[in-house]
Structure 1
Amino acid sequence: MGDVPGLDLPRLSDWFADHVPGVAPGEIALSARRISGGKSNLTYEVSDGSSVWIVRRPPLGHVLATAHDMVREHRVMTALRDTVVPVPTTYALCEDTAVVGAPFYVMEKVDGVPYRGRAELEALGRERTRAVSERLVDTLVALHAVDPAAVGLGDFGRPEGFLARQVARWKKQMDASHHRDLPAADELHERLAASIPPEGAAGIVHGDFRLDNALVDTGTDRINAVVDWEMATLGDPLTDLALTLVYQRLAGFDGGTVSDVSNAPGYLTESEILARYDAASHRDLSRFGFYLGLAAFKLAAILEGIHYRYLAGQTVGEGFDTIGDAINPLLDAGLSALKED
């Protein structure tokens, strides 16, 4: 029973036997493999030889404060399990860092594909690709329609002043990973701080909503589960919509540092996504340029943190060597987006 980076399997096996429902008491021997993809929290498929679970823990090494909160991720998925928003079933949460070196949780393994590349969607054809992207938008609308208090998340965040705190938070996160001068980051932050719009009705915000954070059924093309809730909170839902579109813009100018699925023929265009969301949610999109600028700043801060860990040799897996090249174009895109406001 050999370890994998980020998991101490003997300790994890002992903990599983006492905390995960359905596991027979006594000694068990777990095996694990890290699931490829994702440049933030580490996700593992864990098995005792008969059953399979998913384990999530924060990344190794340098971790930005509040950016990899396992407790919040576990709580929001647990709260949403009886809503129309598809989420995995959660089984157990461990806040004892002595087990694997960080907090982690255990959840159901859900069948489905997290489409990350254009080629994957191209294989489906234009019609199915369009259907997948439509369902992604519809799922976002469904999430933003959930009443937080009705599912026990009334205290999950502080909606008042959310946008101002987001501007300050991502500036702090950018500063925490400082290792080079980024003048565009300073300018974008200053312009965002000076132009915060009135906030709309609060809702549950996923915080990193995109297609490869959804598991799509290969037979029906329906979304079986939305995952990666580490940045979920209560706030202005338009921040989710804007981040989804900034990922789409990023794919258009850098070749897909994170994901280039939106480049696949048939995938909804930015204007089609906005129209579909607007028709179903009826939220005010008149100041949407600000939200796009904030989303670009947030994504730049996240990617700069990943780039920082890569330079320090603290990342696990491949695909990190070009992350740093995307930061300045992303910041420039954020500055341009403010002109759309």
Structure 2
Amino acid sequence: MTEGLDLDALARWFDAQRPEVLDTSAPLTAELITGGKSNLTYTVSDGTRSVIVRRPPLGHVLATAHDMSREYRVMTALAGTDVPVPATHGLCQDDDVIGAPFYVMERVEGTPYQRAAQLEALGPDRTRAISERLIDTLAALHAVDYAQVGLADFGRPDGYLERQVRRWKKQLDASRSRDLPGIDELATRLERDIPQSGDGTIVHGDYRLDNALVNDRDEITAVLDWEMSTLGDPLTDVALMIVYQNLATLAGDAAQVTVTDAPKAPGYLSVEESIERYGRASGRDLGDLGFHLGLGYFKLAVILEGIYFRHTQGKTLGSGFEGIGDSIFPLIDAGLAATSR
């Protein structure tokens, strides 16, 4: 049995719900896709065809953070828009099938570039083109009329930033297992200085290069990992993307282990170029991102603390967790710096 995925039970589900997707006359095989530190992602094959199965992580799971129906719904809604997403094949919310909710989607060809070394092999011109398309795809997402694609009730843009601060404080308390100097001060500053939100859009919630697939023509073929998507302030997506970009140099080797150092590759757009390109594509004012950056650092610190907590319990699958606990402290410091302006 593949850990976290009962293939016999999954085969019975395919037979009953989507028999045209996979041939279950022979045993299915599965492989955990490496690098997943949140929802678990598997390639499942019948020997000829392959699909992707996503389920929540094992062990300690933060409330609302691993909602399978949310990912499934937003990707289904975005099909046919300018935002590339995998085709969806089915959603199961019955825990009795494999022990947790899950959904099935198309396996899209492409590379999730996580490391600078991967991009360096492509050269600076291709790297620049890929980073430009990442920005353009984010602007395209924020331009989608969410009501027109059936997502009018997907979230509440009004009061979004206030709810985000409250939510991530709650998530922190649920994962708090050690002293994190400065994080409560950061939370206090965020509560005190919440700006007025702009027009609401669909927000991805964890937008970065390795949550997208890129083909050999340097096109983005799919945006993945929609577990934190909702309707809200689009600048939170922009700021978190910049946080990831800054993280590439923020904490040295510790940061590279836990998330991504892809933005360090020669040719990758600078932070200033990224902000300028998004502003030009979207028409939005990005003059003051201090609060949004502080929220991004806080959110990422809380996410990584939750992963660290699961790792200390032995409930993480895959590799890449060494040093994750130490990488949180530079995030807190950067969040305090962003909110002190």
Matched, 1:150 2:148: yes
Task: Indicate how the Cα distance of structure 1 residues 24 and 59 shifts in structure 2: closer, same or farther if over 3 A, else same.
Answer: closer
Give me the TM-score of the superposition, normalised by structure 1. 0.97
Aligned match for 1:165, one of 160, 163, 171: 163
Q: Residue 59 of structure 2 aligns with which residue?
A: 61
Matched, 1:313 2:308: no
Among all aligned residue pairs of Structure 1 and Structure 2, give the percentage whose two residues are the same amino acid: 62
Contact 1:310 1:321 in 2 (8 A): no
Aligned counterparts of 1:339 and 1:187: Cα–Cα separation in 2: 11
5 Å-filtered alignment, 1:262-273, equals: 262-273=263-274
- Local SS of the residue matching 2:95: coil
Q: Residue 5 of structure 2 aligns with which residue?
A: 7
Aligned match for 1:51, one of 38, 49, 52: 49
Matched, 1:294 2:295: yes
5 Å-filtered alignment, 1:1-341, equals: 3-20=1-18, 22-23=20-21, 27-218=25-216, 220-254=217-251, 255=253, 256=256, 257-340=258-341
Q: Which runs of 5+ in 2 are unaligned?
A: none
Contact 2:11 2:24 in 1 (8 A): no
Shift, 1:339, TM fit: 3.0
Contact 2:14 2:22 in 1 (8 A): no
Aligned counterparts of 1:24 and 1:312: Cα–Cα separation in 2: 35
Task: Indicate how the Cα distance of structure 1 residues 60 and 26 shifts in structure 2: closer, same or farther if over 3 A, else same.
Answer: closer
Aligned counterparts of 1:327 and 1:147: Cα–Cα separation in 2: 36
Aligned counterparts of 2:57 and 2:277: Cα–Cα separation in 1: 35
Aligned counterparts of 1:183 and 1:39: Cα–Cα separation in 2: 24
Contact 1:35 1:44 in 2 (8 A): yes
Shift, 1:183, TM fit: 3.0
Q: Which moved more, 1:248-257 or 1:301-310?
A: 248-257
Contact 2:57 2:316 in 1 (8 A): yes
Letter in 1 for 2:227: E
Aligned counterparts of 1:338 and 1:282: Cα–Cα separation in 2: 25
- Local SS of the residue matching 1:99: helix
**Aligned residue pairs: how many?**
337
Aligned counterparts of 2:334 and 2:191: Cα–Cα separation in 1: 17
Letter in 2 for 1:169: R
Letter in 1 for 2:151: L
Shift, 1:50, TM fit: 1.6
Give me the TM-score of the superposition, normalised by structure 2. 0.97
Aligned counterparts of 1:123 and 1:282: Cα–Cα separation in 2: 34
- Local SS of the residue matching 1:276: helix
Aligned counterparts of 2:157 and 2:19: Cα–Cα separation in 1: 35
Q: Which whole-Å deviations, capped at 9, do the CAs of 1:101-140 have from their partners, x for residues lacking one?
A: 1100000000000001010000000000000000000000
Letter in 2 for 1:35: I
Shift, 1:24, TM fit: 6.8
CA RMSD after TM alignment: 1.2
Contact 1:216 1:224 in 2 (8 A): yes
Shift, 1:26, TM fit: 7.0
Contact 1:118 1:263 in 2 (8 A): yes
Shift, 1:243, TM fit: 0.4
Q: Which whole-Å deviations, capped at 9, do the CAs of 1:310-331 have from their partners, x for residues lacking one?
A: 0011001111121110111101
Aligned counterparts of 1:286 and 1:271: Cα–Cα separation in 2: 11
Aligned counterparts of 2:83 and 2:19: Cα–Cα separation in 1: 24
